[in-house]
Structure 1
Amino acid sequence: MLRVYGIKNCDTVKKSLKWLDNNGLSYEFIDVRQQPLQKETVTGWLKQLPAESLLNKRSTSWRNLSDEQKSVDNRDAIAALIAEQPTLFKRPLVETGQNIYCGFNEKLWSERYL
């Protein structure tokens, strides 16, 4: 079963969940505003994904960070920052049990999940 992390009012997350439903795929959705992320969870993501792939640097949340926060470059500090401000990661984030993917792309999702 897929585990999908996101925010329920995010348009990209809505589109991805609709795609999963339309394709009959089972998943567990975790709204990170209702179920706060644990730093350990994010640390696990960062073991599979580079920070550049995980961080959404186009988000308002990113733009509102201080220069000091934006300059963190170790896994532990980045994990703490994302756990504290979950809107900083690219959504949706999908755990397949073996792999982790960020973002929604219908063509790629068809190749991965169907």
Structure 2
Amino acid sequence: MVEIYGIKNCNTVKKALDWLVEHKIAYTFHDFKKEPAQEKKLREWAEKVSWEQLVNKKGTTWRKLTKEEQDDVKDISSAIQVLLANNSMIKRPVIECNDLVLLGFDDNVYLSTLKAPK
């Protein structure tokens, strides 16, 4: 089973959800607006993809931080604290499947890692 985390109205999350439906892959969706990410989950993800990849530095939430706040994000602990306070800053979607963690949407990566049942 695929677990997908994100924000329902995020265009990248929509692409991922549409892709899963198109490829008939069952999933459970966790909306950060209804179920905020927890520290334990963020640490699990950071062990698999690195905290640097989890922090979406291209989004508006990151850009709204002051330069000092951005500069303070320098390790896993500081990244997790800012992500807990700003779930919308987590790179989306986060997909968990078979002990893998995938970030964002990439058709080729999905095709090679998320196998549809035959």
TM-score by length of 1: 0.93
Specify every segment of 5 or more residues in structure 1 that has no aligned partner in the other structure, as ranges.
none
Cα RMSD over matched residues?
1.1
Aligned equivalents of 1:80 and 1:52: distance in 2? 13
Give secondary structure in 2 for the equivalent of 1:24.
coil
Map 1:6-45 onto structure 2 (within 5 A): 6-45=6-45
Which stretch has the larger CA shift, 48-57 or 99-108?
48-57
What letter matches 2:63 in structure 1?
R
Amino acid aligned to 2:15: K
Alignment match, 2:97: 96
What aligned pairs does 1:68-79 form with structure 2 within 5 A after superposition? Answer: 68-71=68-71, 72-79=73-80
Determine what percentage of the aligned residue pairs are the same residue: 32
How many residues get paired?
A: 114
Structure 2, unaligned runs of 5 or more:
none
1:54 corresponds to: 54
SS in 2 for 1:101: strand
Shift of 1:51: 2.2
